[in-house]
Structure 1
């Protein structure tokens, strides 16, 4: 990207910043895709079926999935991010099921990364991304709902859906270009613990492998599961007529094996999500200042710096935790 491209980028972002806010409320649009009817063992998804699905990119490389939860916020897995890196170098791509066809989708730059303070490997594996500019809703771009925190207990159905551009099989060299979808059974918490920790019944005082902050899902018989590159993507459940974000693809042993996938329990962290978003709105940070400084810094880096390969492309090759 040369100086002319950088100038165009800055003017484009400034123009987007000055655009008007969305008129539709979040509650009236979330979890209601227009279309109603590979993740390992999955199939190609239909256009507009999962309009909240995003691809998290670093230096134009897909590293993880994520979900749009409002016109300004994305939720993904904490392990997808490097907190020491500049947020603006991350982008989210949304609006199309074809990951290589940028003409169909929309790109937004990240202005802020908020990683859960308890994150430690698999625990607390959740992060929020604030976008520089607001997303314009359409039939192919809509947020997914979060559960109603006022309810004492959310009744999760027996099976939910996972989506992503992760590998179709463990060890594959390439990722699919079309978004994959798969319906996977929800696995009871204690059963999942027994699978990952067979000694659990004999060691009741031991620290559990599957914590209360996690949800397990996967079709162990048909090999339907998430894999490398699906991390941070949604585990979505159809409840009371709307789609609700229940989990984020986090970790697991192998892909489509006898071990289920383990997901971050979004419901558990929902109060934290709402508090982060609320504080950001109340503070009313000067986005124009951030936009200008980060845009110029971004252009400088593109011109003079050869960025390293993100860890998400090379790390944990024996786990689904990164692409």
Structure 2
């Protein structure tokens, strides 16, 4: 399982890079997973490791990686662009996908009805139901409240599987990583996080949570959607900022759709 999964993930990375080349757009969709830049590995003993999962999409060697956060015992929140191929996705878990490589099928997906499609960044949210039981260590997080609305300058924690940078040699080792990020700005539906310190999301972290830590508990404030691309310099990709879906703004949609997955 370890070697076969490593081959699949490596193939996914190459395919995703090829697909992204030549895009003349201001943003780059994180389809195939975004990875943490400038972060550290999450320990299997960390509370973060109990809340975050990986989503694998595609058959054979055409696999792609995303990230998701567990919000009920068998329901996870992620980005819509990670799961629009509903019949090809499954859940993987563990802080090291190469070493553990455990997979569980998904039996239902709810995509935001106003999702604008891959690359749009509009209403890029989805809920997925896991068809089976996760290990007992996995625990859902509580959703934030309106009082937890993010603000400029706030420090948050981003978690995900994937690349540690865009350039050749950047790791894509299937490890779960975390990094502290600051909020640059927000609007009704989105959160912008910066890369001025060389830290943040990259290709492979799509759908991954950005947490507010409050009173020792983690609350998913944002869901990774896309990175900003201001320059054609490959060395600067994944270093110019990222955009998250603002979970607080989508609380009514989440609560409205959770019953259909229970």
For residues 280 and 41 of structure 1, do their structure 2 counterparts lie closer, same or farther at Cα, with a shift above 3 Å needed?
Answer: closer
Instruction: Check if 1:147 corresponds to 2:144.
Output: yes
Question: Structure 2 unaligned runs (5+)?
Answer: 1-34, 230-236
Q: Alpha-carbon deviations, 1:144-196, whole Å to 9, x = none?
A: 22013xxx53254721111112211114475123222110111223xxxxxxx
Q: Alpha-carbon deviations, 1:75-131, whole Å to 9, x = none?
A: 110111234x42xx311112x2111112xx642210011110111120100001111
Residue pair 1:248, 1:264 contacting (<8 A) in 2 also: yes
User: Paired residue for 1:159?
Assistant: 155
Deviation at 1:268, TM superposition (A): 1.0
Correspondence for 2:184 among 182, 187, 192: 187
TM-score, length of structure 2 as denominator length: 0.73
Give the 3-state SS of the residue equivalent to 1:109 in structure 2. strand
For residues 170 and 247 of structure 1, do their structure 2 counterparts lie closer, same or farther at Cα, with a shift above 3 Å needed?
Answer: same
For 1:226 and 1:165, locate their aligned partners in 2 and report how far apart those are by CA, in whole Å: 10
For 2:134 and 2:173, locate their aligned partners in 1 and report how far apart those are by CA, in whole Å: 25
Aligned-residue RMSD, C-alpha: 2.1
Give the 3-state SS of the residue equivalent to 2:109 in structure 1. strand
Correspondence for 2:66 among 60, 64, 67: 64
For 2:202 and 2:52, locate their aligned partners in 1 and report how far apart those are by CA, in whole Å: 16
Deviation at 1:133, TM superposition (A): 2.1
Structure with more strand by fraction: 2
Give the 3-state SS of the residue equivalent to 1:164 in structure 2. strand
Higher Rg: 1
User: Paired residue for 2:103?
Assistant: 107
For 1:243 and 1:55, locate their aligned partners in 2 and report how far apart those are by CA, in whole Å: 18
Question: Structure 1 unaligned runs (5+)?
Answer: 1-37, 190-210, 282-323
Task: Name the count of aligned residue pairs.
Answer: 210
User: Paired residue for 2:193?
Assistant: 217
Residue pair 1:109, 1:131 contacting (<8 A) in 2 also: yes
Correspondence for 1:44 among 41, 57, 64: 41
Deviation at 1:232, TM superposition (A): 0.4
Deviation at 1:136, TM superposition (A): 4.4
Give the 3-state SS of the residue equivalent to 1:133 in structure 2. coil
Deviation at 1:277, TM superposition (A): 1.2
Q: Alpha-carbon deviations, 1:24-51, whole Å to 9, x = none?
A: xxxxxxxxxxxxxx61111222223212
Residue pair 2:90, 2:106 contacting (<8 A) in 1 also: yes
Report the more deviating stretch, 69-78 or 172-181.
172-181
